[in-house]
Amino acid sequence: MTGAERLDDPGDEGTERGWLRAAAAISRDLLSGYAGELEVWRAVARAVEQVAGARTVTLCVPDPDDAAALRVVVAAGEGAEHLEGRSAPAAGTLAGAVFRSGRGLVGGPGDPCSGHGHVDAGPEMAVPLPSPHASPGVVVLSRHPGRPPFAPADLAAAADFASQATVALELARIRTTEQRLEAAVERERIAADLHDHVVQQLFATGLSLQSAASRLGPGALQDRLRGDVAAIDATIRQIRATIFNLQFVAATPVSVRAAVGEVVADVEPVLGTRVELELRGDLEHPAALAAVGDLRAVLRESLTNVARHAAATRVAVLVEATADALVLVVEDDGRGLGSGTRRSGLGNLRVRAERLGGGLDLGPGAQGRGTRVRWSMALG
């Protein structure tokens, strides 16, 4: 994303022209290539920082670990590297008020949720950031002390910009989903062509050679023809394996929710107990959809491990999309990890996580009983 970097006209700061240029740059970059939601919002924060003449800009969303708090997921400006991931209670803050009301507000210095933490903080402004897929967020802007306070026109322009950025992101998501669907249709077409034409032609050629070999007497030519028939049979098997793989990828559920539900329904009968399933966040994120096959494999492996080794009476599954990661947690109240097969069987899960920019954490479950497996992959 380079839109923020192109906003280099000093005369644009705080003007309607500046906000329009920023929105156009973000939209242009999104439609030319969707880089992932986290990078999109970083670009948005950088653009807002420059156009609004802000000292610091943060994007706050509900803290997944504390319903009464907001967490900074993206920051730009002074001290930005220290702000991301910081949480603070929403009550009594400008960001909290905006989050509750859904309306932009202008305030004085010292909003804790902004995460700016400057002792000499200046004027602040916060606008809602709507999201059709995930929990809405709040963009908080802070200026240096002594700078003019934000005016109503600034508030209106920032709110319009946030809405336009959200629309552009949604269009980019739709475009990415359409491209994935087009690729799935193309894989289905290739698989059908291989089955209906290539395999059938090879099969017919093999039969013809086999017939010719049967009419020959024993000798080198007959042996050669039979070898050719065996080679054709091997090629047909390879093509059929390719067809299966193409159809498997094309048939991968577009919905993460559908994939998770399918695995739980398959494994639940052998668990001997109902699975407590919880789904949170933007599970239709393009990166999550692209890795749905990995998620399905990891969930199936985790649940079958529980069925084989845990003797659990309670199994809980959480699948959550945060601002920058897709997280899968499988927890049971069984025997615990121990050693041997169950632990060694988790190596494939770790490899999948690391390949996708995430990780695997193992530990005891609630109240020190059973096992808790936390698998994650990056969404940014």
The per-residue pLDDT for 242 is 72
Check whether residue 286 and residue 357 sit in a common domain.
yes
Helix residue ranges per DSSP H, 107-199: 152-193
Check whether residue 116 and residue 264 sit in a common domain.
no
CATH of the domain at 288: 3.30.565.10
Check whether residue 160 and residue 264 sit in a common domain.
no
Q: Over the range 15-52, which residues count as b (16 or more CB within 10 Å of their CB) and which as e? A: eeebbbbbbebbbebbeeebebbbebbbbbbbbbbbbb
How many CB atoms within 10 Å of residue 278? 10
Check whether residue 232 and residue 283 sit in a common domain.
no
How many domains would you assign to the chain? 3
Check whether residue 160 and residue 117 sit in a common domain.
yes
Check whether residue 131 and residue 221 sit in a common domain.
no
Q: What whole-number distance in Å separates Cα of residue 119 and Cα of residue 116?
A: 9
Check whether residue 246 and residue 262 sit in a common domain.
no
| 4 neighbors 25 (Cβ within 8 angstroms) | yes
Check whether residue 233 and residue 305 sit in a common domain.
no
For 118-128, write each residue's pLDDT tens digit: 445 678 888 88
Q: What whole-number distance in Å separates Cα of residue 248 and Cα of residue 15?
A: 52
Helix residue ranges per DSSP H, 196-317: 200-215, 220-250, 256-271, 286-290, 292-305
Check whether residue 331 and residue 245 sit in a common domain.
no
The per-residue pLDDT for 138 is 87
The per-residue pLDDT for 283 is 84
Residue finishing a domain among 148, 176, 204: 176
Check whether residue 83 and residue 149 sit in a common domain.
yes
Sign of CA dihedral 230, 233, 235, 237: negative
Residue finishing a domain among 146, 176, 206: 176
- Where in the sequence is the domain holding 340, given as residue range(s)? 256-378
Check whether residue 343 and residue 268 sit in a common domain.
yes
CATH of the domain at 57: 3.30.450.40
| 330 neighbors 268 (Cβ within 8 angstroms) | no
| 134 neighbors 81 (Cβ within 8 angstroms) | no
The per-residue pLDDT for 251 is 54
Check whether residue 241 and residue 365 sit in a common domain.
no
Q: What is the pLDDT along the chain (380 residues), one digit of tens a residue?
A: 443 333 334 344 446 677 777 777 766 666 555 555 666 777 778 888 878 778 888 888 887 777 788 888 888 888 777 777 788 888 878 888 888 888 888 876 544 444 445 445 678 888 888 765 555 788 888 888 888 888 888 888 888 888 777 777 777 666 666 666 677 677 777 777 777 778 888 888 888 888 888 888 788 888 888 888 888 888 888 787 777 666 555 555 557 887 888 888 878 877 878 888 888 888 878 888 888 888 888 998 888 888 877 788 899 999 999 888 999 999 998 887 765 444 445 777 888 888 889 999 998 887 778 899 999 999 86
pTM of model > 0.75: no
Residue finishing a domain among 250, 280, 298: 250
